[in-house]
Structures are given as C-alpha cells and as structure tokens.
C-alpha cells in the first residue's frame, strides 16, 4: 500500500533517507514521460519540478516563486509559474494538496490515479498511497448512490511516527 520510499521515510526518518536519489529519479521519470507524451520539459518546468521535489513536504506557489527569484536573480512572473504548475499537474508529475494549498511530486506518474495522501500536521510530511483498500468501498458507494465519481482527493491529516516521538 505504501511505496518503499514511503516506508523508508516512516521507519528511519528523512535525515537518513537518500533524497538526492528521489530527486534524480523524479527528473528521469519526468523526462521520459514528456518524451512519451511528446511534450517539452522546458527549463522553467524542470526548475519548478525540481523545487517541488526538494522535500517530501508540499510547497506553495509563492514559496516556489521566491526560490526561483533567488536562483534567477530576478522575479519570475506568477503566470509563468502557474503555467508550469498546470503543465506538471496535467501530466501527472505533481499533485495538488488542497488542504495545504500546495504541490508535491508524484511518486509514480505515468498512470492515471487518484490523489491520496497521509499528511503530518506537524512536519507537513506528505506520503502518497495507492487506495486499494478504499477502492472497493468507493465503488460500492458509487453504485449505491448512483453518483458518478470523477475525482477523488483523499487527504488524511494527522501526526507521523517521527513527530509522535
Ligand atoms: Zn526523498
Ligand atoms: Zn501520484
Ligand atoms: Zn511529522
């Protein structure tokens, strides 16, 4: 149900986890996906994706703009950043965390899936999970209610094991 990366983050704490690897894997996946979809991972798009992957904590658009401005030495226009975010969202490379109004990198882009997260309210760690357990319940709910569910954004808030110590 949780990916190896997620289990690592939960078990050992992020300080011992090889995050450089996460970032480089994410960029390789993004390049491949763009190639497959005949899309271009422009410099801005790549920079935004890299910034989002700086941690396993979701980042807000303003924080992305500030960091970009620092590295570029000049302000980047907000529409440019929002367009890059929309591109990455459309391609499924990132997810939007509604409860935090922020973005996080997807750990397994390239296949359609709903966005399901465990979010720590103290350190903001956000772990994506595949909702196999919930799938049957949601299908039953859909049949029972006659409601055609088109989007599922499941955000479960709480305290991660590290923050409970
Ligand atoms: Zn990582
Ligand atoms: Zn995802
Ligand atoms: Zn935490």
- The Cα 36–Cα 157 span in angstroms is 35
* pLDDT attached to residue 1: 67
* pLDDT attached to residue 153: 87
* pLDDT attached to residue 25: 95
124: helix, coil or strand?
A: coil
| Closest ligand to the CA of 120 | 3
Mean pLDDT of 34-52: 96
Distances in whole angstroms, Cα of residue 47 to Cα of each of 50, 85, 102: 5, 11, 16
What distance in angstroms lies between residue 96's CA and the mean position of ligand 2's atoms?
A: 10
pLDDT > 90 fraction of the chain, expressed in percent and rounded: 69
Indicate the pTM of the whole model.
0.89
What distance in angstroms lies between residue 9's CA and the mean position of ligand 1's atoms?
A: 8
Higher pLDDT, 41 or 13: 41
Q: Is residue 115 a contact partner of residue 95, using CB atoms and an 8 Å limit?
A: yes
Q: Is residue 74 a contact partner of residue 94, using CB atoms and an 8 Å limit?
A: no
Strand order in the sheet with 115-120: 126-128, 115-120, 153-158
Q: Is residue 136 a contact partner of residue 11, using CB atoms and an 8 Å limit?
A: no
54 — pLDDT class (breaks 50, 70, 90): very high
Q: Identify the structural domains of the chain with CATH numbers, from first to last.
A: 4-164 (1.10.10.10)
What distance in angstroms lies between residue 125's CA and the mean position of ligand 1's atoms?
A: 11
Torsions phi, psi for 141 (to 5 deg): -60, -40
- The Cα 74–Cα 78 span in angstroms is 12
Q: What is the pLDDT of residues 86-130, one digit of tens each?
A: 999 999 999 999 999 999 999 989 888 888 999 999 999 999 988
131 — pLDDT class (breaks 50, 70, 90): confident
Q: Is residue 103 a contact partner of residue 97, using CB atoms and an 8 Å limit?
A: yes
Ligand 2 is an ion; residues with CB less than 5 A from it: 106
**Burial class (CB within 10 angstroms; exposed 0-12, middle 13-18, buried 19+) of 107:** buried
Paired with 127 in beta bridges are: 118
What distance in angstroms lies between residue 72's CA and the mean position of ligand 3's atoms?
A: 31
What distance in angstroms lies between residue 5's CA and the mean position of ligand 1's atoms?
A: 7
Q: What is the pLDDT of residues 146-158, one digit of tens each?
A: 999 888 889 999 9
Side-chain-side CA neighbours of 76 within 13 Å: the count stands at: 24
Ligand 3 is an ion; residues with CB less than 5 A from it: 120, 122-123, 125, 160, 163
15 — pLDDT class (breaks 50, 70, 90): low
Mean pLDDT of 56-75: 94
């Amino acid at each position: 149900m949780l990916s190896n990366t997620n289990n690592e983050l939960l078990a050992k704490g992020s300080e011992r986890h090889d995050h450089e690897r996460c970032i480089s894997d994410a960029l390789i996946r993004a390049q491949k996906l763009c190639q497959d979809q005949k899309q271009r991972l422009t410099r801005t798009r790549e920079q935004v994706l890299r910034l989002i992957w700086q941690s396993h904590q979701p980042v807000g658009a303003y924080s992305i703009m500030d960091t970009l401005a620092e590295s570029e030495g000049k302000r980047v226009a907000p529409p440019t950043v929002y367009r890059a975010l929309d591109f990455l969202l459309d391609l499924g490379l990132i997810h939007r965390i509604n409860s935090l109004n922020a973005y996080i990198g997807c750990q397994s882009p390239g296949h359609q899936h709903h966005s399901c997260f465990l979010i720590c309210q103290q350190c903001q760690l956000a772990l994506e999970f595949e909702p196999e357990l919930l799938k049957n319940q949601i299908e039953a709910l859909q049949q029972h209610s006659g409601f055609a569910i088109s989007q599922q954004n499941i955000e479960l808030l709480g305290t991660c094991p590290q923050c409970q110590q």
